Amino acid sequence: MHIRHNVISLFFLGSMIVVSAQISAKDVASEIPAQAINSQIIRTAAERQIFSGLCTGVISPDQVVLVTGFSSKGLKATEVGIRLDQTGMLISKKAEQLGGKAVLKDRLRGAHTMTLRSDNAEQAPYTAVQLVDIEFPVTTEIERAVDALIPLGLDRFGRDIQLEPSSSSQAFVFYRVKDPEKGIENVFDACKRAVLAQACLNSMQPMCELPAEKVIQCTRIDYGSLSAETHNGRNRTTISIEHPSRGHKSLESTGKGSLQFTGQANFSFATACITP
């Protein structure tokens, strides 16, 4: 068994992915079902070479999102809804002018119980809060956007928005990866290339005599798990990504910097690909 170290810089789809690998390689022979490469059956029995690598990857956010809401109260639920719709249109228009997009989420609704009071008619029993994510390109001057949008009616901020306003401060500006699945795929693809490149350094293995893209084509990621730590000054949060993916809905942090992932990945190369 040989242990080698190397660092490889790769560029994918306009985003930089930096990958390092520490690997061990061994040949494992076993009987496996027919393997299909590019929808073609190669051989009914094959050897697989198994590789494990310690990988690091970087995913950079491409969006900055305001996680907010706006509220209204009234004597009738219908008039409350109308006011929220009007406010929503104003916020959407301003967001577009600023180069962004307002995405309306859930609407929270509540009502006070009317009890033994003579002035019930003067109360505003109905209240509602419209949740909205306001998305901008990551290069947006977000403070200017906040100053322009808050006067239009934004009065709820953060992840834990309730019907009643909270007296505590909450983070409401998040830097997000717009297409997390693509970013995750790029990280693991770069990890695969790095591990295989390491395996072929000063190696006489048959697969190393093949064109690099042929080797990539014949190699699968059996499993990978990488994680990154983010913090907002007080609390630390661990963000994990896996391959095969489990349907990551979002990758985000409160900081503008890139998410730096570290972890282990396992790969296997079908030696049947060596023979045409």
Which of helix, strand or coil describes residue 92?
A: helix
The pLDDT, as a whole number, for residue 212 is 83
Q: What is the pLDDT of residue 39?
A: 26
**Secondary structure (3-state) at 6:** strand
Q: In the chain, where does DSSP find H-type helix? A: 77-97, 142-149, 180-199, 212-217
Residue 219 has pLDDT above 70, yes or no: yes
Residue 244: the pLDDT is 87
Tell me the average pLDDT of the chain. Answer: 79
The pLDDT of residue 222 is above 80: yes
pLDDT of residue 227: 94
Determine the length of the chain: 276
pLDDT classification of 202: cutoffs 50, 70, 90: low
How many C-beta atoms surround the C-beta of residue 97 within 10 A?
9
Q: How far apart are the first and last CA of the chain?
A: 29
Q: Note the pLDDT of residue 38.
A: 29
Q: Give the angle 160-249-110 at the CA atoms, nearest 5°.
A: 30
Classify domain 63-177 by CATH architecture.
2-Layer Sandwich (3.30)
Structure tokens at 232: 């907002």
Domain ranges for the chain, please list them. Answer: 4-61+178-274, 63-177
Residue 135 has pLDDT above 90, yes or no: yes
Angle at 123 between CA 121 and CA 129, to 5 degrees: 135
pTM exceeding 0.85: no
